[in-house]
Chain A
């Protein structure tokens, strides 16, 4: 009896301590995440200006969509949801996210399979692929902007020498190629991250499975699709969702590599532009709220449909 009481009060004591240990972190997260998010949503329902943050008045959903019927019977639609610039940004972001994540996953898988093999100099290769990851995004944007420079860039020079192109291309400035430039840099920078996450999954696959398959004389390609891929599926699913979320909110690379290009402007870029540069603070807030909603829906669907275990609690 006495021990049982002792057990209860001990776990009580631990739970009380846990509360006090968590409180400062929760307070900090409320201050910098929850509260600003609520304020952003609030701003999106007003006509607040950057120059006068407290002068805004409630205008309901007019920043999103307002429908007004004129006396002549003409109906006027306004707001983000009928703004072609916004839908252009949505399309740019989605296209960027899907293409970049697709390539990063495929290339990351190849790099991970290479690193999972045993060969001389493996440590060196792993060190080398960490370099793109370690370079700040802004620095890589500038480095590639220089390499992709239309007049003096080394990429045009290489491609001309190899006969791939017959005239110099203005990669970052031209509407047709700006998105390719952004994709190129992002894939270069993020494939290592993907490769490392997939490699961690690969290393959990017991080696004797491969051994057994090899002794049975099964084709390595078949082994990959029938054994390896199903076993690393959970790791792959988590890696893809993290990358996807990162890609959907991309800002810095686009902002620095292709400034003011309609061909690459993403949701984050257009929101900030309206908020800070164009003094349409509330309008930008509405756009960033929409981005938040899109991402939230996407994550919920992904977790629900893919039954992805993100918390890691399921393993224990």
Chain B
């Protein structure tokens, strides 16, 4: 019995080790590669051999990559701020006020978040051209509303539903208007939820590729995913793997740190939203 128990424990921990290795290894290998240059790249190294920062300096030295980082930061921040602003009031109405068609409205919002983005690409392309914002950050900020807004509304609605009714009733008795209730009563309670949804929406906007690829045409307006996706060498055969890995590490490390810090909140937000960030 104890021998069998020992065996089960060993098998269990072996499984745990496999899961961890499988999850972490690709990123680890990207880091190893990002420190390799020249002929080092063409040998398979399981361990870092040298600490050569030249891939990093070459990526950050090229002006366009740093520019792309700023583009992404600006676009993602503005999108999130806009989405949260609209979502707070809307989710209050959806979570706390009874009106006819509420369930239907919620389903429609969910439907938008599950839209295949390609289905709106032609129409958005026309709109972007019409508004004269092609190849500017505003094209992305506008189009990212399609997935950040439904997501934030959805998650904030589920959070707000769970706030106790008594708080709101007390405020109503004191004669507070809905606007006062939102800004003075609910907003302070909602901060954790806002941080979570904001972070998830930020990650979504930071990672978006289809719209960013289609609505930009010059290297200076590219976002990070497009810059990395289209990073190429002098010829097809010479893919600059070292710099690509360095760029990948640069844009991923901040995300991973954020995700690890906000681990618990993110898991809660993901399961409430059920939507991939």
Contact = CB atoms under 8 A, between A and B. Distances in A.
Contacts, number: 284
A301 interface: no
A236 to B, nearest CB: 12
Interface stretch (B57-65, B189-197, B250-258): B250-258
A18 interface: yes
A17 B179 contact: yes
A24 to B, nearest CB: 5
A139 B228 contact: yes
Interface stretch (A67-75, A118-126, A174-182, A211-219): A118-126
Interface string B126-148: 11010000000000001101100
Given A128-B24, A242-B274, A276-B214, A111 B29 contact: no
B106 to A, nearest CB: 5
Interface in B85-142: 86-87, 89-90, 92-94, 97-99, 103, 105-107, 109-112, 114-127, 129, 142
Contact of B149 (A28, A129, A130, A154): A28
A contact residues, range: 35 or more
Classify the interface of chain B: helix, strand, loop or mixed: helix
Interface string A101-138: 00000000011001001010100111111111111111
Given A35-B127, A119-B12, A143-B29, A128 B20 contact: yes
Interface in A39-90: 39-40, 43-44, 53
A75 B229 CA distance: 44
A245 B260 CA distance: 27
B117 A15 contact: no
B109 A29 contact: yes
Given A33-B146, A271-B118, A291-B116, A143 B248 contact: yes
A25 B151 CA distance: 12
B119 A275 contact: no
Given A152-B42, A299-B114, A29 B149 contact: yes
B270 interface: yes
A91 interface: no
Contacts of A276: 125, 214
A246 B248 contact: no
The 7 residue pairs across chains A and B that have the minimum distance between CB atoms = A36-B123, A39-B123, A18-B93, A249-B116, A292-B119, A200-B271, A252-B209
16 contacts: A10-B172, A37-B123, A40-B119, A43-B123, A114-B16, A125-B19, A129-B20, A139-B248, A142-B228, A144-B26, A154-B29, A192-B23, A193-B276, A255-B229, A299-B111, A311-B110
